[in-house]
A and B are shown apart, each in its own frame.
Chain A
């Protein structure tokens, strides 16, 4: 699949995704036979900074590395000769390709772009955050048609087929620790995701078709990412938030799978979307054992396509792939030296965290930058600690002078201009990866000289959610907001007055078997029960329907700024399911997906001092976007009562026995006659024809001869015969009809 995309223009385009793998090895071995060569694209894109011998080797190496595992998995022994042949072929081809690439670049004004960036950030609790950011852009174009140079074809097909306007898919393991790792900065607002899979998409189709498109999309994504996203197809699993999840309304669908296990089988398809996969560039750092060892791991895919394009042109798509990991650098040496100081930040380097080094950029990337983000407050503290630090804030002085030491000199230093609040602003050191190569790999290291303390900036309220009550019949969900920093909020920049209000959006989806009583909503502000109308500014509820749709609650709270704590409680009844609806591990319990808490009046935005390099960098421009501060609460685990799964036959038989007992005994009582009544029955015989018929039937059933002197017996014989014939005919007709209709 990825081969196809990178190969560029091809005369015959296979439509089916699966059939693209039918590209056989002869195509590879004799590339000049299949129209444009593969190498052309590569040289065209890397023509800016072209260094012939290493780049050649690199490209060839890279292509061999990426293509070969797919096609030559079987023949490991053939590997070395093939590699050599390919290398030779590329070397032969390169002058021609170079010539052609120059002309191609002139023709198409806008090009597909690919950027790769990595942000490293030490966290206050001795961990390191690594945030990979890969950005692919396919501009809207008529000329390219369905062909792409760099952009993953699977994604562009997805966007075109399902008319996706905006989509975000995230796979997460672990919980983002909002208290320690920050809740206000762009990374925590955009990239901290709930455990499991979260998917939302905005479609560019009429409202009545959105559900159908959503279902198709989930199935395709499920196949694309090797995950059980197709479970989101069921209408009990997704919802349509109106205003609390995203500010921009639209034909939005939202679904989560809290229990999805995320592992390498999800990462590999995700990496396949990158032009260099994990063979070169920053993605080469992604050593599976080391990233899955971490405390938090979230891979995310966010795409937007510009809507309302004419039918013939292909819409432009911007694809943002991010991978956020929180890792614990293991530095036994430093801890043994400073054993007395447990708070000493560990020193680390890229190779110690990931076990790998970056050997140059991905040649297809337009930019490849590594950033190191440090809080400014570190320096101020250092200034306090040390007397000789008047000039330490000068950007050059950081690297060598004060509390830490970087193994490499930064190429650029970007400061965040944050006038209002001293706390939380940070400094970014940028490193150009393209300067490094295999012989001189990029291995950034950070060494702390002194113990430093700082804390990440918090969201105004820290939200957590928990269950109340015991037993399997009912319970209550509580969402607790705690003021992140009471001292800060009272004496800080926000002026505390009566009019000051803190807006909080709550968006919560509850599966249908948790039957929430929305009328039981209670609100406690500073541990006191308060009337709901005073704080709940707006509430929208779509209650759950059994086996049809989940319950969804959207709420806009307006709390006073000096609030210390606020709690919402909602009571619920636990539902009882049919035995087929229980999952295999029924006694483990059921997950209530995370609630989304956002603060519409707070925006996580970094005001960076404007620079040309910032404008070019997608990561930094993303940081500079105004996004509202958002956080996810915990996933709740609700145990549900189970019936006895081994009992269906017993239950059916016992219940039916009881019903039969009822029916039989009651009917028996009703039709029982005691001796005299028989005589009454016979005595009370009247001339009515129905009664005669009945008595005749009764007599026949009892096998007794009828005593009817006034009726001649000769008459009845043909009658019975006729009846018999009629009956036989009736049965035959019924049988024929049955046969006819049942087939």
Chain B
């Protein structure tokens, strides 16, 4: 129900964005914050924290509380198959989950504290997305200006793409549900966004920190190292380098001196050094926090191993749970390799084709991994939908956008219904719920493919423009 409400809010906010003026951003951001606070302090329990869409085995706050309880009672937090997250998260979020006294008031208080953490994580993520957007837009305009391709019409449109992206992130019902539902995905998203922000603004230590933490928390952001290196090496998104080259060719006729395609190895080395430092730091912290009752090896087995060998077959919005519940045991390993390598196989082609747009590349990577990951939750689409807003100008002529919007709305409404029919009422079937998961996967595929295709088309358009300008 809350999803439906927020869905309306989102559409409203988007209408507003189209008409709104410059002061619109702060107004809507504050509204989003207030809306979240209202939901958090809402007296009735929305019971979002146990929804399968919100809490996967990796992001569930109840499992985290169980892990913390085990740790407090001097056992390994990974004893049993409950907790599969990071030990650092456990020591930060764990104390907030404890019900100190039995009175209901303070129980609510503990939950409030937990949801305030996710609330702040969301807020910071929004701010960082906006800053990243600003940075991207500025550099992009600069490079366009240098190519003499900047048309004045983009200037006049009220909100900048960074503002829109931040608002989309803040007002996205998926984000709100993940925040109010007390999953740990807002925190994971925060670190991913921090990585992008650090890389886009050229702060290598920050990017390294974000990347190490995001990888530590959920493994899949590990592939973001390629866009981060490209971002630091080449700088933020720009039109294809060929344009600059051809422009210089046209101007000077000398192809050796091209300023923009220098790959700055220094910053990348800087990043790598910082990455290794941060990872050593995180590993040391982890080993300190787990050394009493377990070991680092157990931690890796219980976190990364759990992600890679899809052990938990409880339903989620992904496709792998049902597949591995049904597939014959003999083929299990084969399909595990196939599905994980599906993510890895796309890394290189995408990186080659989109190397001039590392930020967009990062978005595509995030979208692909959130589609194919073992335990996806609504926090993952929240992140990539937010990042999608950063490329509004480039993706303006994307196909099927309305169809996709309707698809997302439809799936997010149908999926809880099917889950309810299957699990709670017993009138439905597992196939119903699985069908919505399939539809959702298909919509995500269409989104990724279409966005990549329209980004490439945009580049082609730019080339055509520059070519025509050169001919003039």
Contact = CB atoms under 8 A, between A and B. Distances in A.
Whether both chains belong to one complex is answered with yes
Interface stretch (B77-85, B158-166, B172-180, B404-412): B77-85
B273 to A, nearest CB: 31
A652 interface: yes
Interface residues of A, number: 59
Interface residues of B, number: 64
A499 interface: no
B313 A655 contact: no
Given A576-B314, A576-B321, A644-B431, A670 B326 contact: no
Interface string B440-456: 01100100110011001
Contacts of B319: 655, 658
B327 A658 contact: no
A515 B327 contact: no
A575 B314 contact: yes
Nearest to B52: A473
B469 interface: no
B423 A473 contact: yes
B395 interface: no
A546 B312 contact: yes
B142 to A, nearest CB: 25
Contacts of B346: 663, 666-667
A265 interface: no
Nearest to A529: B102
B325 interface: yes
Interface in B291-318: 311-315
A546 B324 CA distance: 15
Contacts, number: 154
Interface string A658-677: 11011101110111101011
Interface stretch (A174-182, A226-234, A577-585, A691-699): A577-585
A546 to B, nearest CB: 4
A663 B345 contact: yes
Contacts of B464: 676
B342 A659 contact: yes
B81 A578 contact: no
Contacts of A672: 456
Contacts of B467: 676
Interface residues of chain B: helix, strand, loop or mixed (majority)? helix
B453 A669 contact: yes
Interface stretch (A292-300, A365-373, A535-543): A535-543
A330 B319 CA distance: 61
Q: Of B102, B345, B422, B463, which is in contact with the most chain A CB atoms at under 10 Å from its CB? A: B102
A474 interface: yes
B234 interface: no
Given A641-B423, A666-B452, A530 B327 contact: no
Contacts of B442: 658, 661
A661 B438 contact: no
Contact of A651 (B101, B349, B434): B434
A642 B426 CA distance: 10
A603 B440 CA distance: 62
Given A541-B75, A651-B323, A641 B449 contact: no
A677 B68 CA distance: 58
Contacts of A515: 81-82
B424 A655 contact: no
B242 interface: yes
A141 to B, nearest CB: 47
A50 interface: no
B378 interface: no
A667 B349 contact: yes
Contacts of B259: none
A542 to B, nearest CB: 7
B380 interface: no
Contacts of A473: 50, 52, 423-424
A578 B73 contact: no
Given A542-B79, A665-B445, A670-B353, A648 B73 contact: no
Given A517-B65, A579-B326, 10 more contacts: A472-B423, A472-B424, A517-B62, A577-B325, A655-B319, A658-B438, A658-B442, A662-B371, A663-B342, A684-B242
6 contacts: A576-B314, A578-B329, A641-B423, A652-B326, A666-B350, A680-B242
